[in-house]
Structure 1
Amino acid sequence: MSKTQTAVFVTEIGKPVVRGSRPVPSPSNGQVLVKVTTTGLNALDALGRNYGLLIQETLPAVLGADVAGVVAEVGPDVTTFKQGDRIFGQAALQNSDSRGLQEYALLDAQFAAKSAAGFSDGQMASFPTNLVTAAVSLFDESALGIPAPWTEAAAKFDYGAKSILIIGGGSNTGRYAIQLAALAGFGKIIVVASAKKASEIRSLGATHVVDRSSAAATIVTEIRNVAGDDLLFALDTIQQPDAQFIGVDALSNTKKGKLARLLTQGPVPAEKLSSEKQAGYEVKDVFGSSHAMKDTAAPLWARLTAYVEGGKIRPLTYAVIKGLDVEAINRKLDGYSDGSTSGQCQVQMD
């Protein structure tokens, strides 16, 4: 194995990514070195390139947090994988040695899993960041704090009697949040999404779909027609803060509910609420990192292969870029930036 490798870097914030070379890292305790076969691009990568999110202090920085490939070398203390295994995992978000837009990347074994039989590396690489973000949103104490279905607390939590609201159900994270809510067994999974996606959204586990193009008051009324005044859990995956009042407005007026949100730059405008929240409410900002939220992420990773093979969690569809093509990668990141594209993209190595 060569000591250097080809990689794609952010060398200057706000400028296009460039192709270059960097050393091949060596695995430490608990890590594996993966020969990357595909890595997923997300809007998070555009924010890194454009504004330095998570990479400002580590330039030149490699992008790509969703990694799939073949184990090339196993570090000390790793017993879950061996050389030659097909695996996928989430990169450490602030560590270029771990990112996927390069030939070899390090993954922490506790935040990786064997690729499911019968699924491609591209399908497996559609999971890490968006699925972990959905799991943190629903199950981590820093967010909605719902007991995860694999915990002891789940036995005492009556999911079937509860409702959950997911705004942006057609987004990548939204699709996984629906599936996790269905896996947990929520009685009512109310999803705000495009009417054109209603059939797909229901196939993922939604029990009710509300057309996102309706007026805000109509959306809230339709949600309340389903959940009554009992909604305690809402997740907003797409709205800017000035529109996040919809999720808060749908929460119970007499019981304290929570809104978890992915876009966090500003307060929710309380003056837009149509009714008083007598018991108050909480707004929780979500950080979808396995490494930062390991108490929620590690148990999910330990079960994820079985969930996929059992059909309980389905991968996303995605576009494909062949090889470390910087022009194509920059075009995709531009699309995330200007809103002309929103789906996942897999960069497949030559």
Structure 2
Amino acid sequence: MATQTALVVTEIGKPVTATTRPIPVPKENEVLLKVSAAGLNPIDQKNRDYGIFIKHSLPAILGTDLAGIVEKVGTNVSGVRVGDHIVTQSNSAGGSDYAPLQQYALVGTALTARIPGAISFDEAATLPSCAIAAFIALFHASGLNIPPPFRDVTTDFDYRHTKIAIVGAGSNCGKFGLQFARIANIGTVVAIAAVQGEAELKSLGATHVIDRHLSNAEIQSRVLQIVGNDLVYVFDAVTMDHTIAISLLSNRQKGTVAHLVPGEPDKTTKAEKQAGFESKQVIGSGHMLPDIGIPFWKAVPQWLENGDLKPLGYTVIEGLDANKVNASMDAYRVGKGTKTHVHP
């Protein structure tokens, strides 16, 4: 049996180490991908250190974002051929055969996108986890439930007169949220972020940028000046208590906050919202929500080709270097991590 190199977690709280394991064989509706770019995210550090999703499946391979070249095709596969360049979010529920921190990984074809010729593997690999999380937050019933901007979806929803605020708009998930708001032609998009990045945020879709370093009261005041007292959509990409996000909602209409990080706002802020509000924890997985995941990945190539969806920045680790990969995850733990891709 052919083998490959992989980085694995063998004990929770310990560094990943290199090992040799068999190259998996694609089954029905699957392909074997030669991994060109394996993206790391903060969840990988949490899995390594705390075993959030992997503690019962050791040894485990980490990673959520992958892009590469189709090496083999399983049965009943259509629309994907050997040699195709594709990008996807790994199916963590499938186990280590589907994780990207190895030379070859399995991919289910229903939730993949062809990579346009002008887009590199690394550029494509900036998308999967952050982009799908932001898209679900804005356009799925488990998030803000704005109708998704798919070409084959007909709706009379008034995007142009819709207002949304994005807390943590300077994060990768926040930046994709801005882009999807622009793709949907949402009329007013208020970004709460560091003002040093104002030009980039406006190029991605923000109509207004408010400095996240201001006091909560000042942020509220400035948002109120822009949208009035009728904001009903807030996407919180980064905070744990969601206090600032909920404080921005209308006091006279019921609103919704979609957030990526679990947490609870302070009681005073909750009590201020006399019209009520919904706080929704978003699960950023197209595999768990195929009703939106499948059409999302189907739309991605056209968005990339049109320039509507722009990849974000990244750094690269060449080879399956366990020391460098561990250092990258250590940086996430202390809040200094950057989007990092490994080239297996």
Secondary structure (helix, strand or coil) at the match of 1:138 reads helix
Task: Give the C-alpha shift of residue 151 in structure 1.
Answer: 6.7
Post-superposition CA distance 1:250-287 (Å, at most 9, x none): 111111100011110x32213145x7322200000011
Q: How does 1:97-116 map to 2 (within 5 A)?
A: 97-116=97-116
Q: 1:245·1:270 contact (CA, 8 Å) conserved in 2?
A: no
Matched residue type, 2:38? T
Q: How does 1:304-323 map to 2 (within 5 A)?
A: 304-323=300-319
Task: Give the C-alpha shift of residue 3 in structure 1.
Answer: 2.0
Task: Give the C-alpha shift of residue 117 in structure 1.
Answer: 1.4
Matched residue type, 1:87? I
Whole-angstrom CA distance in 2 between matches of 1:154 and 1:280? 30
Task: Give the C-alpha shift of residue 124 in structure 1.
Answer: 0.6
Secondary structure (helix, strand or coil) at the match of 1:165 reads strand
Residue among 248, 264, 271 paired with 1:250? 248
User: CA distance change for structure 1 residues 151 and 54 in 2, over 3 Å: closer, same or farther?
Assistant: farther
State whether structure 2 residue 81 is matched by structure 1 residue 82.
Answer: yes
Task: Give the C-alpha shift of residue 76 in structure 1.
Answer: 1.4
- Residue of structure 2 in register with 1:269 after alignment: 266
- Residue of structure 1 in register with 2:258 after alignment: 260
Secondary structure (helix, strand or coil) at the match of 1:155 reads coil
Whole-angstrom CA distance in 2 between matches of 1:154 and 1:175? 26
Whole-angstrom CA distance in 1 between matches of 2:283 and 2:160? 27
Secondary structure (helix, strand or coil) at the match of 2:155 reads helix
Whole-angstrom CA distance in 2 between matches of 1:202 and 1:118? 24
Task: Give the C-alpha shift of residue 68 in structure 1.
Answer: 0.7
Task: Give the C-alpha shift of residue 153 in structure 1.
Answer: 5.8
Q: 1:137·1:286 contact (CA, 8 Å) conserved in 2?
A: yes
Matched residue type, 1:247? A
Matched residue type, 1:315? P
Matched residue type, 1:54? F
Q: How does 1:156-175 map to 2 (within 5 A)?
A: 156-175=156-175
Q: How does 1:127-146 map to 2 (within 5 A)?
A: 127-146=127-146
- Residue of structure 2 in register with 1:56 after alignment: 55
Q: 1:235·1:260 contact (CA, 8 Å) conserved in 2?
A: yes
Whole-angstrom CA distance in 1 between matches of 2:273 and 2:268? 12
Whole-angstrom CA distance in 2 between matches of 1:32 and 1:121? 17
Whole-angstrom CA distance in 1 between matches of 2:151 and 2:134? 17
Residue among 313, 316, 324 paired with 1:328? 324
State whether structure 2 residue 336 is matched by structure 1 residue 340.
Answer: yes
State whether structure 2 residue 5 is matched by structure 1 residue 10.
Answer: no
Secondary structure (helix, strand or coil) at the match of 2:332 reads helix
- Residue of structure 2 in register with 1:66 after alignment: 65
Q: 1:135·1:297 contact (CA, 8 Å) conserved in 2?
A: no
State whether structure 2 residue 275 is matched by structure 1 residue 279.
Answer: yes
User: CA distance change for structure 1 residues 233 and 151 in 2, over 3 Å: closer, same or farther?
Assistant: farther
Task: Give the C-alpha shift of residue 54 in structure 1.
Answer: 1.5
Q: 1:116·1:124 contact (CA, 8 Å) conserved in 2?
A: no
Matched residue type, 1:345? T
State whether structure 2 residue 189 is matched by structure 1 residue 192.
Answer: no
Post-superposition CA distance 1:274-315 (Å, at most 9, x none): x73222000000111111011111101001011001100000
- Residue of structure 2 in register with 1:25 after alignment: 24
Matched residue type, 1:201? L
Task: Give the C-alpha shift of residue 96 in structure 1.
Answer: 1.1
Identify the range of structure 1 (204-213 vs 42-51) with the bigger mean alpha-carbon deviation: 42-51
Task: Give the C-alpha shift of residue 154 in structure 1.
Answer: 5.1
Whole-angstrom CA distance in 2 between matches of 1:16 and 1:119? 33
Aligned length: 343
Q: How does 1:174-213 map to 2 (within 5 A)?
A: 174-213=174-213
Whole-angstrom CA distance in 1 between matches of 2:73 and 2:254? 47
Q: 1:233·1:259 contact (CA, 8 Å) conserved in 2?
A: yes
Q: 2:65·2:126 contact (CA, 8 Å) conserved in 1?
A: yes
Matched residue type, 1:127? L
Matched residue type, 2:244? I
Whole-angstrom CA distance in 1 between matches of 2:64 and 2:146? 26
State whether structure 2 residue 285 is matched by structure 1 residue 289.
Answer: yes
Identity %: 38
**Aligned residues: CA RMSD:** 1.3
Q: 1:45·1:63 contact (CA, 8 Å) conserved in 2?
A: yes
Task: Give the C-alpha shift of residue 61 in structure 1.
Answer: 0.6
State whether structure 2 residue 36 is matched by structure 1 residue 37.
Answer: yes
Matched residue type, 2:221? T
Task: Give the C-alpha shift of residue 184 in structure 1.
Answer: 0.5
Whole-angstrom CA distance in 1 between matches of 2:234 and 2:254? 12
Task: Give the C-alpha shift of residue 176 in structure 1.
Answer: 0.3
Task: Give the C-alpha shift of residue 87 in structure 1.
Answer: 0.9
Q: 1:142·1:286 contact (CA, 8 Å) conserved in 2?
A: yes
Q: 2:147·2:155 contact (CA, 8 Å) conserved in 1?
A: no
Secondary structure (helix, strand or coil) at the match of 2:92 reads coil
- What TM-score do the two structures reach when normalised by structure 1? 0.95
Which runs of at least 4 in structure 1 moved beyond 6 Å after TM superposition? none
Whole-angstrom CA distance in 1 between matches of 2:98 and 2:284? 16
Matched residue type, 1:52? G
